[in-house]
């Protein structure tokens, strides 16, 4: 059977949004037009492609097969467009980047510098936690992800490009503020504000503590570094965040970094993509730019860390 690119995009978007109405909005079409296209395909195939459930409109088995092929075809078309654009130099192209929420503190600066050099590139930026980043990679929704370490058993390629120190933060009037070489056991007696399940920061902290025989005393769970910083500033507990998120709070004296045994937890920011997906010229150019320029453009002042 033959499918037009428009029909492929309709199938893909209905599956992603689980709604004919939302798919129509995303595609700038009317809902009846989307429904009609799907019905025509179903009539030609003699099989239903979607079914309605309590979760929304979901693909049938036949729909999943057809949508998987449609997505690969759309990806191939996009790749062809990128390679043709590359023949004219990097004057045009599309780039979809998904970043960890913490990386969003510096990613816009990198993207702005890159786009200044390549103004013809069309950019789409999404922000997600670790679970969302992996989903975007596995479902081919993004070209590159900026995140922590990728799962070792996943078909992914990663390139480290920047240090990502995780530090313990407290309000300036906390009894531990200003102390040096604070034992980890003493800090673990304090309540902590933690990131949600699926967060890379939370996973790194849990691995760090488990290796030393500690469990954290949780007071509450937050879904962003901003929320954690505000809760810590209000005196609700201690927190662990990336040092990349703290420039303003430290400069204004709203938070302090505690000198805790074993901290900072040193991690790396990485560019990650699927092993079986060739990077477009725009994505390759961006990856090379980040690896080359990020250490120069994204710096952590020495005063972010306590001296011993």
The helix (H) or strand (E) run that includes residue 92 is none
Q: Which two tokens stand for residue 263?
A: 């901290």
237: domain CATH number? 3.40.190.10
Please, is 62 exposed, middle or buried when counting C-beta atoms within 10 Å of its C-beta (0-12, 13-18, 19+)?
A: middle
CA angle 218, 223, 245 (to 5 degrees): 95
Q: Which residues of 200-220 are buried (b: 16+ CB within 10 A; e: fewer)?
A: bbbebbeebbeeeeeebeeee
Q: Which two tokens stand for residue 82?
A: 């990128």
Same domain, 110 and 241: no
* Residue 308 belongs to some domain of the structure: no
Contact 158, 270 (CB under 8 A): yes
Report the C-alpha gap between 92 and 283 in whole angstroms.
Answer: 12
| pLDDT tens digits, 192-220 | 998 888 788 888 888 999 898 887 666 68
Please provide residue 89's backbone torsions phi and psi, each rounded to the nearest 5 degrees: 90, 180
Which of the four pLDDT bands, split at 50, 70 and 90, describes residue 111?
Answer: very high
* Residue 180 belongs to some domain of the structure: yes
What is the pLDDT, as a whole number, of residue 308?
Answer: 44
Peptide bond into 247 cis (omega under 30): no
Segments in 183-246 forming alpha helices (H): 184-187, 200-211, 225-233
| pLDDT tens digits, 72-107 | 888 888 777 666 665 555 556 789 999 998 899 999
Rg for the chain, CA atoms, rounded: 23
Residues 6+ apart with CB under 8 A from 264: 165, 166, 167, 243, 305
* Residue 275 belongs to some domain of the structure: yes
* Residue 14 belongs to some domain of the structure: yes
**Distance spanning both ends of the chain, measured CA to CA:** 70
Same domain, 258 and 190: yes
Same domain, 113 and 154: yes
9: domain CATH number? 1.10.10.10
* Residue 238 belongs to some domain of the structure: yes
What is the pLDDT, as a whole number, of residue 301?
Answer: 52
Report the C-alpha gap between 72 and 151 in whole angstroms.
Answer: 24
Number of domains in the chain: 3
* Residue 102 belongs to some domain of the structure: yes
Mean pLDDT of 274-303: 84
Contact 286, 239 (CB under 8 A): no
What is the pLDDT, as a whole number, of residue 91?
Answer: 57
* Residue 27 belongs to some domain of the structure: yes
Q: Which two tokens stand for residue 163?
A: 């240090």
Q: What is the pTM of this model?
A: 0.68
| pLDDT tens digits, 294-303 | 988 887 755 5
Whether the pLDDT of residue 5 is over 90: the answer is no
Residues 6+ apart with CB under 8 A from 16: 23
Domain housing 135 = 90-162+268-303
- Beta strands 56-59 and 50-53 are antiparallel
- Beta strands 238-242 and 191-195 are parallel
């Amino acid at each position: 059977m033959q499918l037009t690119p428009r029909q492929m995009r309709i199938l893909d978007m209905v599956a992603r949004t689980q709604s004919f109405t939302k798919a129509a909005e995303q595609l700038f079409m009317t809902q009846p037009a989307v429904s009609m296209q799907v019905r025509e395909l179903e009539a030609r195939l003699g099989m239903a492609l979607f079914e309605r459930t309590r979760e929304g409109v979901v693909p049938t088995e036949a729909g999943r097969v057809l949508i998987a092929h449609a997505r690969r075809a759309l990806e191939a078309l996009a790749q062809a467009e990128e390679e043709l654009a590359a023949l004219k130099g990097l004057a045009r192209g599309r780039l979809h980047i998904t970043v960890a929420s913490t990386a969003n503190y510096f990613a816009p600066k990198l993207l702005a510098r890159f786009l200044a050099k390549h103004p013809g590139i069309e950019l789409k930026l999404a922000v997600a936690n670790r679970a969302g980043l992996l989903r975007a990679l596995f479902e081919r929704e993004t070209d590159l992800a900026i995140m922590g370490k990728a799962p070792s058993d996943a078909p992914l390629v990663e390139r480290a490009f920047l240090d990502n120190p995780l530090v313990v933060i407290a309000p300036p009037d906390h009894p531990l503020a200003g102390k040096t070489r604070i034992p980890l056991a003493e800090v673990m007696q304090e309540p902590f504000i933690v990131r949600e399940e699926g967060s890379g920061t939370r996973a790194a902290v849990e691995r760090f503590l488990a290796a030393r025989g500690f469990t954290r005393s949780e007071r509450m769970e937050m879904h962003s570094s901003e929320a954690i910083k505000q809760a810590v500033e209000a005196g609700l507990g201690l927190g662990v965040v990336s040092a990349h998120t703290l420039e303003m709070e430290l400069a204004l004296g709203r938070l302090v970094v505690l000198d805790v045994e074993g901290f900072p937890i040193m991690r790396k920011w990485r560019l990650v993509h699927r092993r079986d997906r060739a990077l477009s010229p725009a994505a390759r150019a961006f990856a090379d730019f980040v690896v080359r320029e990020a250490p120069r453009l994204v710096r952590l002042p020495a005063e972010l860390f306590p001296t011993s």
